[in-house]
Amino acid sequence: MSRTRTALLAAMALVAGATGTAIAAVPGGTGAAAVPCTVDYKVQNQWATGFTASVTITNNSAAKSSWSLKWSYAGNQKVTSGWNAKVTQSGANVTAANESYNGTLATGGSTSFGFQGTYSGSNAVPATFTLDGVTCNVDSGGPTDPTDPTDPTDPPGNRVNNPYDGAKVYVNPEWSEKAAAEPGGSRIANQPTGVWLDRTAAINGVNGGMSLRDHLDEALRQKGSGELVIQLVIYNLPGRDCAALASNGELGPTEIDKYKTQYIDPIKAILADSKYASLRIVTTVEIDSLPNLVTNVSPRGTATPNCDVMKANGNYVKGVGYALNKLGDVPNVYNYVDAGHHGWLGWDDNFGASAEMFKQAATAEGATVADVHGFIANTANYSALKEDHFSINDNVAGKSVRESKWVSWNRYVDELSYAQALREKLVSLGFDSKIGMLIDTSRNGWGGANRPTGPGATTSVDTYVDGGRYDRRFNTGNWCNQSGAGLGERPKASPEPGIDAYVWMKPPGESDGASKAIDNDEGKGFDRMCDPTYTGNPRNDNNKSGALADAPISGHWFSAQFQELMKNAYPPLS
């Protein structure tokens, strides 16, 4: 656990309470001297011989194009690795200098970096920091007694490794009622699904629907005396879904401040209510945002102008970082960042670059890798969990499976192998070795009469793969209301190594997007990938869309899809 103690440096007024906690006057307040810079140093995790720490610098002087922060340790701490800064050490003296991508530091601007170190004995917080030779004020934190009541704002460090282990998962009454009203729907109406906060109004309830507090109160009722996970989808970035018009949102590309103050801050305030402290709150942070900054921007051939805008203004990275930072402050919140799916990010050009992008967002706007509990793959998508009849290592008729039209040189053929490999990559970049993956299995079962029972013919690599694959889409780039899809594995905890849970984050029966243009007040556009007559684009190798007809706008109930998902469920419904 970490707590924050505010040190008085450079002529700040100080008020000391009976507990000994020091509270510094707000810079710029009555009687306060000018504050050239502030350093927030927090020990995020600490064990017998090592620790990780995050450092946030706020510059209140003239804008900088480069920066260098220095401090000295009183003990024997040694920095072993760092991220988002070049961290070097000579004796007790440490220097952290900017990387090429984060040297700019505007007046009033902040930047963050982190590092891992070793120590023995005590791990005292450095007393003084200088930014380019100027002494800064310090907010410093480190491990303390978890029974200390004087620090209600910082996480107590009592999160469990896997929130799904030993816990029930919240059944959304609104979805459950719709499912139960469908013929045969009672068979799955008691399954847990995600609660989508896809616009600001969802916090207080849309059109008389349940508010966030209503869901949390119902979660407490369902919890009883045991443990319960409630799953929330954080999904309202400015310029949302820059490459898919069907799920555009209410905020324009530049409205990052509205995202912070009108969306994330109110959600955090509700989640931090002590009334809900006994719940395990899983947040799935911003579906389909960060991968777009890798795969759908210039100079790539599949670039879209809206994604170029969002990469240039940085508001996806800022928004995700801000959400992780703020929500990560709530002790019983578990942040899982969306990580696309294998048919999007599994290629060599996309895999590593996406992992780096996730790291960049996880260390932006005051966030650190410690604010990330894990990642989620296949959210609201259809990629098969595990292909049993072919593997990436197979060779047929003198060709590798990777050369087939379906695999198309991807490194992965299913979500399980992709999720496990991505987890290893993320750990290698500095994420905690205990991070876990979630896989959304709500619509990737691909059962029914057409489910293959063995490999395809070996006459060619294409007949081999196409004859044996469970995923029957025209292309892995197809994402909207897919014809022939079925419910997948039921939600379960710890199903495979590195996987925290299979989840139904996308509620089955909720449309991905309208099959034709429909006027609406939700900011959602019409995407041709939801049109069953559409013949494709470069992102799906110019294949048919495979979408169902007569679909409503995204998030609205789609009875025909729900029935098809039940019919094609695998494992089958009884």
**Residues near 72 by beta carbon (within 8 Å), at least 6 away in sequence:** 92, 93, 94, 126, 128
**Residues near 262 by beta carbon (within 8 Å), at least 6 away in sequence:** 200
Dmax over CA atoms of the chain, in Å, equals: 83
Q: Percent helix, strand, coil in the chain (nearest 5)?
A: 25, 20, 55
End-to-end CA distance of the chain: 46
198 is in an annotated binding site: yes
Residue 490 Cα distances to 249, 387, 398, 570, angstroms: 30, 17, 38, 9
Catalytic residue flag (residue 512): yes
Rounded-to-integer distance, Cα 353 and Cα 349, Å:
7
Of 231, 532, 541, 203, which is closest to residue 379 (Cα–Cα)? Answer: 231
User: Is there a contact between 191 and 171 (Cβ–Cβ < 8 Å)?
Assistant: yes
344 is in an annotated binding site: yes
Catalytic residue flag (residue 388): no
Given the DSSP bridges, would you call strands 137-142 and 167-169 parallel, antiparallel or unpaired?
unpaired
Residue ranges with strand state E in 280-397: 280-285, 333-338, 374-377, 395-396
From the candidates 151, 241, 440, 500, give the one annotated as an active-site residue.
241
Rounded-to-integer distance, Cα 242 and Cα 257, Å:
18
196 is in an annotated binding site: yes
From the candidates 414, 440, 512, 531, give the one annotated as an active-site residue.
512
**DSSP letter assigned to residue 403:** G
Rounded-to-integer distance, Cα 404 and Cα 276, Å:
51
Q: Which two tokens stand for residue 208?
A: 């008389």
409 is in an annotated binding site: no
Bridge partners for 496 per DSSP: 499
From the candidates 40, 139, 288, 338, give the one annotated as an active-site residue.
288
Q: Which two tokens stand for residue 458?
A: 């070996």
510 is in an annotated binding site: yes
Residue 310 Cα distances to 58, 291, 307, 468, 526, angstroms: 24, 12, 5, 39, 20
506 is in an annotated binding site: yes
Bridge partners for 440 per DSSP: 503
Of 504, 453, 464, 479, which is closest to residue 164 (Cα–Cα)? Answer: 504
Catalytic residue flag (residue 257): no
Alpha helices for 389-460 (secondary structure H) = 415-428
Annotated active-site positions, please?
Answer: 241, 288, 512
Output the known binding site for substrate. Answer: 196, 198, 341, 344, 381, 479, 506, 510
